[in-house]
Structure 1
Amino acid sequence: MGNYSEALEARMLSFFRSLNERDRRRYAALEAMKLGHGGIQYMSRLLGCHRETIAHGITELNSEEKLTTNRIRKKGGGRRSLTVVCPELVDNVLRILHDHTAGDPMRQEVRWTNLSRRNISRQLEKTETPASKNVVAKVLYEQGFRRRKPQKKRTMEEHKDRDAQFKNLNRLKQEYLDAGKPVLSMDTKKKETLGNFYREGVTDAIEPTIVNDHDFPSQGNGKVISR
C-alpha cells in the first residue's frame, strides 16, 4: 500500500475537517477503499477517526438506499433530551410554577407565570435538577407555555364625549393662536392607567392575554405615576 505525501495528507485532513459527520465517514471510507488492503488502518491514523466509523461508511457507500438519504445520523441518533434523561426536571419546574402562576378561573386554558425563564433556572439550582434557561424554555413549551404579548381584541364602546374633547381642544388652541399666544404641547411624568389595558413586554402563557382595544382612562381603575 502506497502512502500519500505529507503535503497531500495535510490537504486531505483539512478537507476532512470541513465536512459534516456523515460526509466525513464516507470520505474516509472512499479513500480507504481506493487504497485497498490496509486502507482502513491508514485512513484511521491519518484522519483520527475510528476504524468502525470507516467500516460503517463503506457499508453506506455500498448501499444505494443509504446514499440517497439526507440524514446525517440514523433516526434516533444524537444526544437524548434532558427531560427524557431526567424526568424529575419537569416536576421541579411545575413545582416552582405552582406558586407563581395566575389565570382566569372561568377558563382553565388561560394561565401565565410572572417568573422569567432565568428566574426559574436560578430556582432550579436549589434542586437536584439544575438546568439552563434554554432547557427551561423547552420545558415550558412542552407544557403549552408560549412567549406572548397582550392582544388588543376586546372591543370597547365609543365614549359619547370623545369627539367633543378634541373639538374643544382645537377651539381653545385656535383662540390662543389668533390672540398671538403660544400653544405648547408638554409631556408629564409617565402615567399608567390601572385596568385591563395593553402593557409592553411578554410573558410565558398557555393562551394570549386579551385586553381592551383602546386605553380610555374612563374605563380604568385609577392611575399609577412612575418616577
Structure 2
Amino acid sequence: MAIAIVDYGMGNLHSVSKAIERLGYDAVITGDPAQILAADGVLLPGVGAFGDAMEQLRSSGLAETVRAAASAGQPLLGICLGMQLLFDESEEHGHHQGLGLLPGKVVRFAGGSYKVPHMGWNRLEYVQPEHPLLQGVQEGHVYFVHSYHALPELASDLVAVTDYEQKVTAIVGRGNVYGMQFHPEKSGELGMTLLRNFLELAAGPRQAGERLA
C-alpha cells in the first residue's frame, strides 16, 4: 500500500510526494475516499486559509474521510495548514470549525515588535524527546511559513516547540494523529528524517528505493 496524500485542492502536493518517494515509499495523491482509507498512512498538506481549506474538505466529503482514517487507527500527519486543520477551531478571517481531532485552537501571531508571517528557519525544542517521531533526530532548524499558530488544549499533545518571540507549537501528536507546523520536505536532512520517522510509523521501515505493495 502507498501513503495517501489528501488532494482537496489546497496544498503543496507534489513536493511532499517527491519527498516521500525519495525516502523509498510510494505516495499517491488522491481525493478518493476508498484509496485514502486503504492506505498505510495519510498525509494532510495545506497552503492557504483555514476556512477555505475546511470548506473544500467538507464539500468534497474528505473531512469525514480524514476523520474516519484517524478513527480507524491509520497514522495521519498534517503539515503546515494541514496541522492546524487537525484542531477544533481557528480565528483566521473569522471563526471556523476544524476537524476536531486535537483539542485546541489556532490564533494569529500578535506581531508588532516582530514580523508576521513567521517565515524562515527556526530551531526545534523537544518537549517529548522520547516521542516516536523524534527518534534518532537531534534538535535543529526547520523551515516555517505561517501567520497563525496552534494552541493545544492539552500539554500532552505537544511534542516540540520553536521560539518566535514566544513558544510556538511545532510538532503535535496524540495516538496515531500527528502534525508539523513547518515544512519537513523543505527542511533539509532534519525534515526528511522526521518525515521518514512518520513513514516508518505508518508502513514500517523500508530500504531506499523499495516499493510498497
TM-score (norm 2): 0.22
Which one has a bigger Cα radius of gyration?
1
More helix by share: 1
Where relative contact order (Cα < 8 A, 6+ residues apart) is larger, the structure is 2
TM-score (norm 1): 0.21
More strand by share: 2
